[in-house]
Structure 1
């Protein structure tokens, strides 16, 4: 079970690493449509994961729907708070958010992706904590694989702009990969508090779902809608959504 736990924690990080490696295969010219499609895939996976891996299990265990609603809103409020205080900049824009700072643009790009990864790490940690107690290993691995799939485009979304801004391929790859390390860290610390988490598991599941949905609505959806109209980002969203749904149904 310990090996499964570490595997579940590290699979999403491997997804980020593979996505960051795209800098070695794409020319220097920035492809805005490709980045938007990547955001669409990531959005679809996160929405599906929020529903099938987090909210549905939460509602199956908690009959008081107000607990679920409270968890969703508090999870979103946590990310809103972090969004307001952490200086960051989203890929594809020059709009800075959070507190004013003298950090470089590239640092703010990394902070933006790091904010994405916090709720994902929490979600994986919570589901793994549940798996340790109940033995539902495949459901936990389904979420880890799904998050890894959505981390693939996120790694690319970060590493490609870094390369466009003058970073070498190797440095862009390294920074893009390391941006995903926050997920296993947050997942691990979530598991450390599993005794408390399991006592209020439905609330924690909905809390993680709310945080993930905030990221989708506030950051990823606007990114996929930027620029000239195209249906490809929408199709990418549906693709990511269906992949995560199938994964959860088959493995869950």
Structure 2
């Protein structure tokens, strides 16, 4: 597969995760509301999958991808990944996007919104791109004739699952505004469009400068783990405030299911 073909495949994987955000709007085609219990469980499932994929996939891969210096690279990458998320959040502090603004935005405002969303979801795209670093190498499972790393498959699925409850969260205020169901799907997908772009950039970088591959794996893992701790779990607990036990039971059940689902990644 030529370079352009590989970039297209990586972009397509990122696009799949973006489209998965639109799935979060689909329940509103069937019901008027999505229960908080299911929302919390989905956030927990996504968190468990993301942390497991980061530890069993990205970090383990980073430690085995280079020479003896790979540990230092992974650790440095972890620190940089966390730092990026922290700095990004400070940059957009006070500029959080309310989905209600989507329908009311003019072109300038949409550009601003997309910029904020890029800062918010770019690390997830980076994780996808880095996981494709060994694309085309022998021994990888084949999909449609392409040798795709197993880690890339797991990471694409993990981020797609995470994006579903995010799509639900975006669709709830739009539904309350009376926005049409298909437009809710579009705006949900729109919120994750930076992911395929981030995936292509990260993939191209780690393939061009393979000596930085351990750092790239650590960077993606650090960003993902910190996002889970600082955003996903707090979001789940906020949604579950009105549930018995504050939603902790549903969150723990989802986390456990997510971890168990990804444990095989450590042994493959």
Which of the five TM-score ranges fits, normalised by the shorter chain? 0.7 to 0.9
Task: Give the alignment partner of residue 174 of structure 2, picking from 159, 162, 185.
Answer: 162
Q: Give the structure 1 partner of residue 49 of structure 2.
A: 45
Change (3 A) 1:7 1:134: farther
Decide whether the 8 Å contact of 2:53 with 2:154 is kept in 1: no
Q: Give the structure 2 partner of residue 219 of structure 1.
A: 231
Q: Give the structure 2 partner of residue 94 of structure 1.
A: none
Q: Deviation at 1:74?
A: 0.9
Decide whether the 8 Å contact of 1:12 with 1:147 is kept in 2: yes
Q: Give the structure 2 partner of residue 91 of structure 1.
A: none
Change (3 A) 1:126 1:146: same
Unmatched 5+ residue regions in structure 2? 103-112, 141-147
Q: Give the structure 1 partner of residue 221 of structure 2.
A: 209
Q: Which has the larger radius of gyration?
A: 2
Indicate the larger mover: 74-83 or 196-205: 196-205
Q: Deviation at 1:241?
A: 2.4
Change (3 A) 1:38 1:107: farther
Say whether residues 1:17 and 2:22 are aligned partners. Answer: yes
Q: Give the structure 1 partner of residue 260 of structure 2.
A: 242
Looking at structure 1, the residues matched to 46 and 115 of structure 2 have their Cα atoms a distance apart, in angstroms, of 17
Change (3 A) 1:128 1:138: closer
Q: Give the structure 2 partner of residue 122 of structure 1.
A: 126
Task: Give the alignment partner of residue 192 of structure 1, picking from 204, 213, 217.
Answer: 204
Say whether residues 1:59 and 2:63 are aligned partners. Answer: yes
Alignment of 1:69-148 (within 5 A): 69-86=75-92, 98-99=93-94, 106-107=100-101, 115-132=119-136, 136=140, 137-139=148-150, 140-148=152-160
TM-score normalised by the chain length of structure 1: 0.80
Looking at structure 2, the residues matched to 133 and 113 of structure 1 have their Cα atoms a distance apart, in angstroms, of 33
Q: Deviation at 1:174?
A: 1.3
Looking at structure 2, the residues matched to 13 and 100 of structure 1 have their Cα atoms a distance apart, in angstroms, of 22
TM-score normalised by the chain length of structure 2: 0.76
Decide whether the 8 Å contact of 1:113 with 1:154 is kept in 2: no
Decide whether the 8 Å contact of 1:122 with 1:186 is kept in 2: yes
- The count of residues paired between Structure 1 and Structure 2 equals 237
Aligned-pair Cα RMSD in Å: 2.9
Looking at structure 2, the residues matched to 8 and 172 of structure 1 have their Cα atoms a distance apart, in angstroms, of 22
